[in-house]
Structure 1
């Protein structure tokens, strides 16, 4: 896969204004949510001009179908992981980043299931401080349209994350000591998907520098810099790996420097002063695709109206442990696309109506903010 193409993202004007004029007083990255205490929706802000959480975080057998709006995902093993992707078919990441839902390789999480054949190459890496995935895919099977994609992360332009209210857990962080029955929250995470490729990292909150290793301020640099890897189409492997150098940090002639991405998407990114290099990996084990995606056989991308699934009962569904296959390292091409920062439409059971705020009120707030600028 290409290792030099940079991602170029174009933020929508409204999103840029939201980033400048509004930031959550209770940001997603600061929320500590034990697995046994997941709320229906983790997003608590009621005045965010961008909108509100459109899915839900309590996911179980009643929500496990191809219409699920579950926004709780997992990163456990090479045969038990999830990706963020749109709910409606033929959607761009730019238009749905605030509303994407979890698509998982294994049943048991209350989510949509990744269809067999959607992932065409996969590298899963486990390091002392994070888990990384990368690879290639047939993005149409995950409802993704267009040439470009974008970043989905625990930050978001207003602190609410993309998706807004998304939660990530793992049962295979080094600090978990192999306890597959215990899930730890990853407060810092970052994924890129689009251009038929993907990559992502979820950081152990008890590990080394989770914010720096799972940084979310380098969206224009894509996979090559945020999750440098050596993934190849047609290869499915799990590896152990070393921690990478924190995103943006580089050393020249013994001097450590930090590259700062231009804040405004209208500013040219210029020359990035360093080339990111994948961290060393070892103990790689190769798998057949059929052994990883058994639960996706016969699954299609969606079936009907993606806003119809609503959870009942309580608790996030139990997770199958899967085969561990030792961690992994990833190299997806960084050409995920243009446009992370579209305004989330407050629809569905978790949208503006459920929060007691009308979609019209959100629109009025946006127009008022535009008028002031």
Structure 2
């Protein structure tokens, strides 16, 4: 297990932590830092490089001068089916659990000052708008955004065991609640992004609603999208839907009684069974799209290794040069995408076939077992 996880005694997994050494936590947690977009954002959100995980790898002032395939921009967006970003590695062949604190933003549209997701990366996407959050579920070729092909993945969120976030200093914004004004962005305080096993889910919760922290829970990092963002996404299908709210992650009803699941600490070994299957929220008004139309801006974007990059790492014109940080994140966190049944995509297999992934309840359990395999 990585150094920070050892120091914090499995805090993220629910174990009773030992008292951490001084200098572990920032003066202000990332989730309590608020910045108006775009004028109120500092060059780096996390400036406390004297803490255990060191300095923030990238930067937060992102614009046309930083937009290229080596950008270290760590300001991300989730707006619509054709305009969203994922947290992904800086360098090819990475494993989420090793570098979740250093992820950078990869987006589907230019204009955000980030890297762009290469063509043919996205294999299926469902955008869902609900009363309290919007989310994107998808199927991907994760090697095109620098993940190892066999990486089961992990979770990014604005908390982390040391409250500095994964990635450190990562900001997320959305115009989903702007009343149609595409240029009006709200900072998302609560969000989570699982990625791995060639699938992903990213959910951003409306900060004006009282249950944002519950819908975008961050304590169930070992059970993936099937439990944190249950859905009806299908491989090969690109669509936008409206839907009802899910149950809070970890909350379920058994024999008429509302129960709350407690994720066991990693020290107890793999999670081999689950006491419930997450309810998939009802969806409606789904509109199918052509991937070529949705992601037309990505047509000329090549993946690392497909072509030699011609640009060098960029930083904002007003900031210091961007450098690459060292590997320094907490423990790896599993991921599994929703499928047509809302169960874990990739359960029992790291590949995704065309069409819906029909996964049985038994296979969902195997998906949880696989989740435990990359808890280092």
Residue 12 (structure 1) aligned with residue 5 (structure 2): no
Tell me how far 1:47 sits from its aligned partner. Answer: 3.0
How far apart, CA to CA, are the structure 1 residues paired with 2:121 and 2:272? 35
| TM-score normalised according to structure 2 size | 0.79
- How far did residue 208 of structure 1 move? 3.9
SS at match of 2:52: coil
Could you say if the C-alpha distance between residues 52 and 105 of structure 1 is closer, same or farther in structure 2, counting changes exceeding 3 Å?
same
Instruction: Name 2:106's counterpart in structure 1.
Output: 103
Alignment partner of 1:171 is 2:175? yes
Deviation, 1:81, is: 0.5
- Contact kept in structure 2, 1:94 and 1:150, CA below 8 Å: yes
2:248 maps to which residue? 246
- Paired residues for 1:1-373 under 5 Å: 11-18=1-8, 20=17, 21=20, 22-35=24-37, 36-145=39-148, 146-173=150-177, 176-269=178-271, 271-302=273-304, 303-304=308-309, 308-313=313-318, 331=339, 333=345, 337=371
The secondary structure found in structure 2 opposite 1:239 is strand
Q: Which region of structure 1 is more displaced relative to structure 2, 275-284 or 249-258? A: 249-258
Extract unaligned runs of 5+ from structure 1. 1-10, 315-328, 343-373
CA distance in 2, matches of 1:216, 1:84: 16
CA distance, structure 1, for counterparts of residue 95 and residue 312 of structure 2: 17
* 2:338–2:345 CA contact under 8 A, matched in 1: no
Can you list the C-alpha shifts for 1:92-126, whole angstroms capped at 9, x where unaligned? 11111111100000000000011111000001101
Whole-angstrom distance in 2 between the partners of 1:161 and 1:187: 11
Give the 3-state SS of the residue equivalent to 2:79 in structure 1. strand
Assess if the C-alpha contact under 8 Å between 1:87 and 1:306 holds in 2.
no
* Secondary structure of 1:49's aligned partner: coil
Q: Which structure exhibits the higher relative contact order, with contacts defined as CA atoms closer than 8 Å and separated by 6 or more residues?
A: 1
Q: Secondary structure at the match of 2:126?
A: strand
CA distance in 2, matches of 1:51, 1:337: 28
CA displacement, residues 205-243 of structure 1 (integer Å, 9 cap, x when unaligned): 112401110001101110100011111111000001111
Deviant stretches of 4+, over 6 Å: 339-342
Q: How many residues align?
A: 316
Q: 1:34 to 1:239 in 2, by over 3 A?
A: same
Cα–Cα, structure 1 residues 337 and 271, in superposed 2: closer, same or farther, change >3 Å? closer
Aligned counterparts of 2:53 and 2:176: Cα–Cα separation in 1 = 34
Over 3 Å counting, the alpha-carbon distance change for 1:16 and 1:127 in structure 2 is farther
Secondary structure of the structure 1 residue equivalent to 2:70? coil
Over residues 292-343 of structure 1, what are the superposed CA-to-partner deviations in whole Å (9 max), with x where a residue is unaligned?
11111121224559972211148xxxxxxxxxxxxxx96462758568888x
* Equivalent-residue separation in structure 1 for 2:3 and 2:137 (angstroms): 30
Give the gaps of 5 or more residues in structure 2. 12-16, 320-336, 347-366
**For the residues of structure 1 that align with 2:222 and 2:79, how far apart are their CA atoms?**
27
The 1:305–1:95 alpha-carbon spacing in structure 2 relative to 1, beyond 3 Å, is farther
TM-score under structure 1 length normalisation: 0.79
Q: Name the SS for the 1:141 alignment partner.
A: helix
Change (3 A) 1:240 1:264: same
Query: 1:213, 1:191 → 2: CA distance?
Result: 13
